Amino acid sequence: MVKRIIAKQEHCMGCGLCEVYCTVQYSKSKDPVKAYNREKPRPISRVRLEMNKPVSFAIQCRHCEDAPCAQACLTGAMHKDEETGLVTHNPEKCVGCWTCIMVCPYGAIKMDVQGKVVAKCDACIELDIPACVANCPNGALECKEAKH
Amino acid sequence: MPKYVIVGACAAGISAVEAIREVDPVGTITVISEETCPQYSRPMISDFVSGKANLEKMKTRDDQFWTKNAVRALTGKKAVTLNLAERTVAIDSGDKINYEKLLIATGGKPFVPKMEGSDKDGVFTFTTISDAERIAAKIDAINAKKAVVIGAGLIGISVTEALVKRGLKVTLVELQDKILSLILDPQASDIIENVVKEAGVTTVTGQSVQRIIGKPENDHAVGSVSLTKGEQIPTDLVIVAIGVVPRTELLAGTDVKTNRGIIVDNFMQTNVPDVYASGDVAEAYDFILNQNRLLPLWPLATLGGKIAGYNMAGKKTAYSGGTNMSALKYFDIPIISIGLANPKEDSTFEILVKHDAEKNVYKKIVLKDNVIVGMTFVNAIERAGILFYLMKNRVNVKKLKPELLTENFGLATLPAPLRRKMNIGE
């Protein structure tokens, strides 16, 4: 079973708090003010608010079954973990060639330009509920266990 | 128990091993590879030369890969003869390996044109880790200051960047009028050429190297090159990066059909049953050109090897095809270019372009009958994969055209039925 984050478009108000809490979650300080104002480089949100009014929803790595990013990765940094079903990214191995970005149908992989690597959602493995889901004020993100 | 034999342990071979094991945990797998080192990323050899990566970082699989997948690895061995009637592959030590299912994943070898002086000390090609090690060692040994790179394709630009990072003065010589001409249109090529020049590289286009000349004090060592128009450029190294040609030698004299590469069907099988081919050696399907062709690209080799592996193990799987597709990071300019990014003059193509010179952002989409058949994105690549999805699935984008090149274009711009198909939300 895999943790999957589902976007509920009809509940999304486009507030962008998912991006804020994701940024904080990936920060060193875990504090919004410090994360945004003091941490250099500023941590990167792995979720993106897609907006085309009136449509809006939050999207992050889908942890695809066939994971085109892992398939295309030149270095072995991107990896489909058969046990957890998650697509994991190892920044130590990443060289920032951007090949995964080219093949991600969701545009869900971000560029960490400063670190010259990519950044993506790991479904907050260390948390019970991913930060974006836990902090969505309108229940527009839901975490489900899915078969893949 | 099926006997699988794979010749070649680069992207396609390794990926085939994994695919076979996904389906068949018990069949015997033998891999024959000329290289003795662990699985590593060939596109990263430039990072090795520049000093950004060592072999450890370049490994694409862990050290237990062979044992974990129960592979008999014949490394440092060369497959020399294929006997289709006997179903054997003979290796250079004299042994014959019996197969039931065979994968030829021998890849490509660098093309070196006939050129006077190409046998001199200091002339290299650039496709394997050994090439990278030899170049790095040579730079240190002779304290090399200057290099000439012949060929401004993917390999040529990547080795140029690596040499620049090591402090060498590089002259890049390209026969075509533009650098990266097989991948980029003239506008995008100019953007890259400008950053290449800013990095101190001299570019020479529309010319080739006629002759490699020795040093006055030692004719055996590279001293300079002479160009088509007669100019002579002093250099310590010459890197030949003109391109790769498929290594089809093993099939010479057999019934396996080859064109420039080995011809395969959509299951990566050759015309001879149970003989498969994938990676740089094979001519596989290009979904944009709707024909088979050579596409020596790492991600496609990985994908092709996987398809071959599945089919060899009995899980019938068709290859959805690839196309000319590259993500580039040269000199820190991110570029994604896919398909017919630079089509010949043809009124049936519709071209959308957006160029923001101030931000150095360039976006181009090529359409045919309202379907995306080519795209180039420079300095704005993060959501280019969404367009690649539209391209690969031949989605009619007629209504989306005004949005395609806008900054906001993304999943929310797509029509709701397509979003549902992509399984984005509920």
Sheet of B291-294, strands arranged across: B262-263, B282-286, B291-294
| Cβ contact, residue pair B426, A7, below 8 Å | yes
Distance CA A69, CA A77 (A): 10
Q: How confident is the model at residue B1 (pLDDT cuts 50, 70, 90)?
A: low
Say yes or no: B41 contacts chain A, CB-CB below 8 A.
yes
| Cβ contact, residue pair B57, A93, below 8 Å | yes
Residue A1: pLDDT over 70 = no
Give the DSSP letter string of B160-172: HHHHHHTT-EEEE
Query: According to CATH, where is 3.30.390.30 located in chain B?
Result: 332-423
Residue B125 — φ and ψ, nearest 5°? Answer: -110, 180
Which whole number is the average pLDDT over B302-315?
Answer: 97
Say yes or no: B389 contacts chain A, CB-CB below 8 A.
yes
| Cβ contact, residue pair B43, A76, below 8 Å | no
Residue B68 — φ and ψ, nearest 5°? Answer: -60, -35
Span B3-108+245-312: which CATH code? 3.50.50.60
Encoded amino acid at B398, one letter: K
Angle at A32 between CA A86 and CA B408, to 5 degrees: 65
Which whole number is the average pLDDT over B382-390?
Answer: 97
Span B332-423: which CATH code? 3.30.390.30
CA distances from A138 to A55, A124, B276 (A): 15, 20, 53
Query: According to CATH, where is 3.50.50.60 located in chain B?
Result: 3-108+245-312, 123-242
Count of A–B CB contacts within 8 Å? 118
DSSP bridge partners of A110: A119
Helix (H, G, I), strand (E, B) or coil at B308: helix
| Cβ contact, residue pair B422, A105, below 8 Å | yes
| Cβ contact, residue pair B327, A52, below 8 Å | no
Residues of B with Cβ-Cβ distance to A55 under 8 angstroms: 412, 416
Which residue in B43, B336, B411 is closest to A59 by CB distance?
B411
pLDDT at residue A105 in the model: 97
Residue A82: pLDDT over 90 = no
Burial of residue B183 (number of CB atoms within 10 Å: 0-12, 13-18, 19+): buried
Helix residue ranges per DSSP H, B24-123: 45-50, 55-58, 65-68
Q: ipTM, 2 decimals?
A: 0.95
Question: What global pTM score does this model have?
Answer: 0.94
pLDDT at residue B312 in the model: 98
Residues of B with Cβ-Cβ distance to A111 under 8 angstroms: 334, 381-382
Q: Which residues of B236-272 are buried (b: 16+ CB within 10 A; e: fewer)?
A: bbbbbbbbbbbbbebbeebebebeebbbbeeebbbeb
CA distances from A114 to A20, A92, A107, A118, B2 (A): 20, 14, 19, 10, 49
Which residue in A52, A75, A116 is closest to B41 by CB distance?
A75
Superfamily covering domain B123-242 = FAD/NAD(P)-binding domain (3.50.50.60)
Residue A83: pLDDT over 90 = no
Q: How many CA atoms lie within 13 A of B20 on its CB side?
A: 30
The minimum CA-CA distance between B52 and chain A, rounded to whole Å, is 9
Residues of A with Cβ-Cβ distance to B53 under 8 angstroms: 95
pLDDT at residue A2 in the model: 72
Q: What is the pLDDT of residues B250-278, one digit of tens each?
A: 999 999 999 999 999 999 999 999 999 99
Distance CA B251, CA B83 (A): 9
Residue B139: pLDDT over 70 = yes
Pairing type for strands A55-59 and A48-52 reads: antiparallel
Q: Which residue of A has its CA nearest to B62?
A: A76
Which whole number is the average pLDDT over B377-381?
Answer: 96
Give the DSSP letter string of B267-299: TSB-SSTTEEE-GGGEEEEETTTTEEEE---HH
Q: What is the pLDDT of residues B363-374, one digit of tens each?
A: 999 999 999 999
Q: What is the pLDDT of residues B82-117, one digit of tens each?
A: 999 999 999 999 999 999 999 999 999 999 999 999
Distance CA B228, CA B211 (A): 9
Helix (H, G, I), strand (E, B) or coil at B32: strand
Helix (H, G, I), strand (E, B) or coil at B227: strand
pLDDT at residue A3 in the model: 79
pLDDT at residue B324 in the model: 97
Instruction: Report the run of H or E that residue B233 belongs to, with start and end.
Output: strand B232-234
What does the DSSP 8-state code read for residue A131? Answer: H
Say yes or no: B197 contacts chain A, CB-CB below 8 A.
no
Mean pLDDT of chain A: 92
Distance CA B342, CA B187 (A): 10
Distance CA B322, CA B271 (A): 20
Mean pLDDT of chain B: 95
Residue B426: pLDDT over 60 = no
pLDDT at residue A40 in the model: 84
Task: Kindly state the greatest CA–CA separation across chain A.
Answer: 40
Q: Tokens at residue B415, please? A: 């029509």
